[in-house]
C-alpha cells in the first residue's frame, strides 16, 4: 500500500494545518496563531495596567507582547523572514524595557537606539519584497500613491516642529525618523503586500509621532494609552501580515522575495 500523498499547503497554510492535525501535532501556523493571540492579550493587559503605572516589574510586563511574538516566529519559513522579524522584535523588546525605566540616565537615548535597530531589521525584512528602483513609483497603486509622499512631508514638518527642542538629539532624531519613514514606505510598497503590513507600519509612525509630541512639544492627556495601543497595533499587525496572512508570500506559499 502506497503512503498517502501529503496535503499541499495553500497560501494561508490550510493544507499544512490539516496534515498536522491528522498527524497529531501542531502546525507552525497554528502555533503562531495561538502565540499571536496570547501576545494580543498581553498587550491589552499591559495597556490596562498603565492606570497603575509606574509599578514594580513594569518593564517585564511591557516586553511580554514582543517576547510572545518572537516565539511565534520560531517555526516560520522562510528563514530570512524569521531571522529578520525576530531581530526586529528583540530590538523592540529592548526598547520597550528601556522606555519603561526612566530612572536610568540613558533610558530615552537607549530606547531610541533600540527602536532604530528594530526599524532597520524591518527594512531588511521588507526591502526584498519591493519593486525595483526603476519601477518604484509605477509600482505604487491606489491610496498608497499619495500616502508615501504625504508620509515624508508630515515627517519633515514634525521634525521642523521638534527641532528647537531637540538639543543634543538633533541628529539622532533625524536618523531615527528617516529609518521609521523608510520602514513604513517599504511596507506600503511590499509585494504582494496587504492591509495588515500597511496598517502596522502606519500605526508605528503614529505611535512614534505621539511620543515626539508628548516629549518635545507638549504632554497631552491619555498619551500613555494612545502611544501604547497604537504601538501594540503596529507590532501585532506586522506579525499578523507576515505570520498569519502571508502578505510577503506569493500564492502557493513561496517567498515573494525569492533568493533575496
pLDDT at 18: 62
19 versus 163: the higher-pLDDT residue is 163
pLDDT for the residue numbered 258: 47
Residue 2 in this model has a pLDDT that exceeds 70? no
Task: Give me the residue label for grid cell 490550510.
Answer: 14
**What pLDDT is attached to residue 252?**
54
DSSP label of 222: T
Position of cell 495601543? 229
What is the average per-residue pLDDT within 104-133? 92
Q: Could you tell me which residue, 249 or 6, shows the higher pLDDT?
A: 249
CA distance 66 to 63: 6
Instruction: With respect to residue 3, please indicate whether it lies within any of the assigned structural domains.
Output: no
Residue 16: inside a domain: no
Query: Helices (DSSP H) in the chain: which residue ranges?
Result: 14-23, 28-49, 58-62, 64-72, 79-99, 107-126, 144-162, 170-189, 195-212, 223-239
In a domain, 4, yes or no: no
What's the rounded Cα separation, in Å, for the pair 130 and 45?
35
Task: Determine the Cα–Cα distance for residues 131 and 45; give it in Å rounded to an integer.
Answer: 39
Number of domain units in the chain: 1
Residue 41 lies in domain: 26-133+142-244
Inside any domain, residue 254: no
| Residue 38 domain flag | yes
Contact 246, 81 (CB under 8 A): no
Q: Is position 72 within any domain?
A: yes
Distance CA 45, CA 88 (A): 22
How is residue 51 annotated by DSSP? G
- Asked, for residue 21, whether it belongs to a domain, the answer is no
CA distances (Å), 107 to each of 96, 103, 164, 174, in order?
10, 7, 21, 18
The share of the chain scoring above pLDDT 70, in percent, equals 82
> What is the pLDDT at residue 14?
57
Between 166 and 257, residue with greater pLDDT: 166
235 in a structural domain: yes
Whole-number Å distance between alpha carbons of 89 and 160: 30
How sure is the predictor about 8, in pLDDT bands with cuts at 50, 70 and 90?
Answer: very low
Quick one: pLDDT at residue 249? 81
- The three cell numbers locating residue 254: 513561496
Amino acid at each position: 500500500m502506497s503512503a498517502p500523498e501529503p496535503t499541499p499547503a495553500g497560501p494561508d497554510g490550510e493544507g499544512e494545518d490539516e496534515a498536522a492535525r491528522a498527524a497529531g501535532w501542531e502546525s507552525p501556523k497554528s502555533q503562531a496563531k495561538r502565540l499571536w493571540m496570547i501576545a494580543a492579550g498581553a498587550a491589552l493587559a499591559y495597556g490596562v495596567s498603565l492606570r497603575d503605572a509606574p509599578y514594580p516589574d513594569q518593564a517585564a510586563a511591557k516586553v511580554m507582547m514582543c517576547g510572545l511574538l518572537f516565539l511565534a516566529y520560531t517555526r516560520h519559513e522562510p528563514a530570512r523572514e524569521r531571522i529578520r522579524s525576530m531581530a526586529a522584535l528583540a530590538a523592540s523588546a529592548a526598547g520597550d524595557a528601556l522606555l519603561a525605566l526612566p530612572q536610568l540616565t540613558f533610558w530615552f537615548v537607549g530606547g531610541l537606539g533600540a527602536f532604530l535597530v528594530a526599524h532597520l531589521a524591518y527594512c531588511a525584512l521588507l526591502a526584498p519584497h519591493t519593486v525595483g528602483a526603476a519601477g518604484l513609483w509605477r509600482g505604487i497603486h491606489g491610496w498608497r500613491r499619495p500616502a508615501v509622499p504625504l508620509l515624508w512631508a508630515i515627517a519633515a514638518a514634525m521634525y521642523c516642529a521638534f527641532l528647537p527642542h531637540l538639543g543634543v538629539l538633533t541628529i539622532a532624531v533625524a536618523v531615527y525618523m528617516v529609518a521609521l519613514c523608510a520602514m513604513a514606505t517599504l511596507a506600503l510598497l511590499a509585494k504582494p503586500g496587504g492591509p495588515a503590513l500597511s496598517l502596522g507600519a502606519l500605526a508605528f509612525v503614529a505611535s512614534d509621532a505621539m511620543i515626539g509630541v508628548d516629549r518635545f512639544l507638549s504632554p497631552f492627556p491619555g498619551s500613555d494609552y494612545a502611544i501604547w495601543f497604537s504601538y501594540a497595533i503596529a507590532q501585532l499587525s506586522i506579525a499578523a501580515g507576515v505570520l498569519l496572512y502571508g502578505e510577503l508570500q506569493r500564492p502557493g506559499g513561496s517567498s515573494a522575495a525569492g533568493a533575496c
